[in-house]
Amino acid sequence: MTKTTFAAFAERLTFADWTAPDLKKFTPGLMKTEVLSGLTVALALVPEAVAFAFVAGVHPLVGLYAAFIVGLITALAGGRPGMISGATGALAVVMVALVADHGVEYLFATVVLMGVIQILAGLFRLGKFIRLVPHPVMLGFVNGLAIVIFLAQLSQFQVPGSAAAGAGEGHAMGVTGEWMTGAPLVIMLALTALTMAVIWATPKLTKAIPAPLAGIALTTAIVLALGLDAPRVGDLASIKGGLPALHLPMVPLNLETLEIIFPYALILAAIGLIESLLTLNLVGEITHQRGGASRECVAQGTANLVTGFFGGMGGCAMIGQSMINVKSGGRTRLSGISAALFLLAFILFASQLIEQIPLAALVGVMFMVVIGTFAWQSLRIMRRIPLTDAFVIVLVTAVTVMHDLAVAVVVGVIVSALAYAWNNARRIHAVTRESHTEAGAKVYEIDGPLFFGSTDGFAELFTPDADPDVVIVDFLRSRVVDQSALQAIEDLAYKYEARGKTVRLRHLTRDCHKLLNHAGQLLVDSDDDPEYALAVDYSVRTGIFGGGH
């Protein structure tokens, strides 16, 4: 990357450049909405961070510190105001094997390397490739995500146990694994339903307070006033702690350490960026904002780099919390900053108060997020869209639920790309006629794209043995896409040449003129030759093409 590119990118990373647009539109009413939205998100972050720390096999504070540091840095410098980042389950499930085999210090080193990889991805603008994710994949992604969020809340309906037992035995939420029955289950369901009802009704009565915060506050007040025996945040683990301190990962600085952490760092970086960039698009659709993919990559990388040096487990964008934020009115960086600072305040000063919040209130909030996240319109359009698109939606949803979000997106993109290639491969055909300008010559008017998937169909259009001595192939209605297409044209020329016949090629681009070796002498220049660029690799442009003939 050139010095100029680095300088331009560094200029965009300045705090003033990234926050000035937000500051211009701040009013007292907007600031109140942003701060209260951040408070709501912070309350929802606590059990999530603790749970994901348990999943990864580390102390709860490792997850809480990650939620604070990653959340603060991405709020300040991320690509989309309103997004919330923190410790996530998608990363935790990858970390668990590393922690089990090598210990938590190797996790911190991995998170640092993960951050470096993500920063490089942002500097080299790899985030732009998120635009290749088709809309059916996005629908399947959000549907699968909604189901995953829903299923994750079901563990709250299990009998609470000690936090230590939960962590030691691998239970994600400090529970015994036995489902509630009788009065505890009725209380839990009633409080969850109450929270959901308050969230539904609050916007109809007032917009002065975010609906999720109203639901949490009212449910907590009822539980405390009536002394109800309901599971609370404190049943998961104590969230009391101090300020995160600088901590250099205690690992040997040698090649063996790199061999251990690099595969994990690469996987974590990829999963984190995919989830973050999809969240960026999802939030952008709600807030009507565009761009910022490369900026988000750098922000996520910087956040993880810092987190690894302060004893955090790393993180990425959290779609559930981001949806809570934007639906609570959070639209600027202030909401994300507030959420991170409130979370730190909970750890330092208000742990006993936060630990009294009933889990049912937070479950109710997340259930409403599920309802708002699921793309219900995808069920209505399933019969009206192409069968392939419907299949991709269902496939991505299923893989998201059974495996993880990143794998689901990759699978969906691959299937969509293969389906697109197959459909286009069947489009190529030809109309034949006699030439109007050259007596006895036969004209093939090609229609449809010529690329690797359609080369066989292209070859089958021609009958070299039966054709006259002069054949004209007209590409006016076609498009030559790649090296395979060029090779197919070369092969066609050789077939006719072997039979002592002549092929003339019309309406090919100047790129094709330069890249076709043998067939180039058969090209016919026209004033109306197309001008599109040809996507071929460097070896073709340097003349290494058509060898062996």
3-state SS, residue 35: helix
The reported pLDDT for the residue numbered 409 is: 85
Between 151 and 196, residue with greater pLDDT: 196
Confidence of residue 173 (pLDDT cuts 50, 70, 90): very low
Cβ atoms 78, 354 nearer than 8 A: no
The reported pLDDT for the residue numbered 4 is: 46
Q: What is the average pLDDT score of the chain?
A: 83
Chain CA centroid to CA 458, Å: 37
**What are the C-alpha distances in Å from 124 to residues 5, 317, 465?**
10, 20, 52
Residue 293 has pLDDT above 80, yes or no: yes
Residue 529 has pLDDT above 50, yes or no: yes
Q: Which pLDDT tens digit goes with each residue over 418-463?
A: 998 888 888 899 999 998 888 889 999 999 999 999 999 999 999 9
The reported pLDDT for the residue numbered 176 is: 55
Between 278 and 265, residue with greater pLDDT: 265
Provide the percentage of residues in the chain whose pLDDT is more than 90.
41
Q: What is the number of other CB atoms lying within 10 angstroms of the CB of residue 21? A: 11
Q: Which of 514, 533, 234 is nearest to 362 (CA)?
A: 234
Q: Which pLDDT tens digit goes with each residue over 56-111?
A: 888 889 999 999 999 999 999 998 898 999 998 778 878 988 999 999 999 999 99
Strand order in 470-480's β-sheet? 429-434, 442-450, 470-480, 502-506, 523-524
The reported pLDDT for the residue numbered 538 is: 33
Buried b (16+ CB within 10 A) or exposed e, 189-198: eebbebbbeb
**Three-state SS across 78-118?**
CCCCCCCEECCHHHHHHHHHHHHHHCHHHHHHHHHHHHHHH
Residue 187 has pLDDT above 80, yes or no: yes
Angle, CA 11 vertex, CA 287 and CA 114 arms, to 5°: 75
For the chain, the domains span: 40-163+251-381, 426-541
Residue 14 has pLDDT above 70, yes or no: no
Torsion angle of C-alpha atoms 311, 314, 318, 321, degrees rounded to 10: 0
Q: Which of 7, 117, 41, 91 is nearest to 314 (CA)?
A: 91
Cβ atoms 59, 291 nearer than 8 A: no
Cβ atoms 75, 57 nearer than 8 A: no
The reported pLDDT for the residue numbered 86 is: 93
Residue 536 has pLDDT above 70, yes or no: no
Strand pairing report for 470-480 and 502-506: parallel
Confidence of residue 518 (pLDDT cuts 50, 70, 90): low
Residue 44 neighbours by CB under 8 Å, 6+ apart: 212, 320, 321, 324, 362, 365, 366
Q: Which pLDDT tens digit goes with each residue over 476-485?
A: 888 888 889 9
Lowest mean pLDDT among 46-60, 289-303, 323-337, 428-442: 46-60
Assign domain 426-541 to its CATH architecture: 2-Layer Sandwich (3.30)
Residue 414 has pLDDT above 80, yes or no: yes
Quote the tokens at residue 146.
């909604």
Confidence of residue 224 (pLDDT cuts 50, 70, 90): very high
Quote the tokens at residue 364.
């109710």
Strand pairing report for 85-86 and 316-317: antiparallel
Provide the percentage of residues in the chain whose pLDDT is more than 70.
85
Confidence of residue 165 (pLDDT cuts 50, 70, 90): very low
The reported pLDDT for the residue numbered 483 is: 86
Q: Which pLDDT tens digit goes with each residue over 119-134?
A: 999 999 988 888 888 8
Q: What is the pLDDT averaged over residues 317-339?
A: 90
Quote the tokens at residue 361.
């209130």
What single letter denotes the amino acid at residue 266? L
Residue 491 has pLDDT above 70, yes or no: yes
Residue 204 has pLDDT above 60, yes or no: yes
DSSP state of 382: T
Q: What is the pLDDT averaged over residues 511-524?
A: 62
Confidence of residue 539 (pLDDT cuts 50, 70, 90): very low
Residue 254 has pLDDT above 80, yes or no: yes
Confidence of residue 381 (pLDDT cuts 50, 70, 90): confident
Q: What is the pLDDT averaged over residues 192-221?
A: 89
Quote the tokens at residue 44.
């929802």
CA–CA distance, 90 with 359 (Å, rounded to integer): 22
- Considering all CA atoms of the chain, what is the largest pairwise distance in Å, rounded to the nearest integer? 99
Q: What is the pLDDT averaged over residues 397-415?
A: 86
Between 352 and 166, residue with greater pLDDT: 352
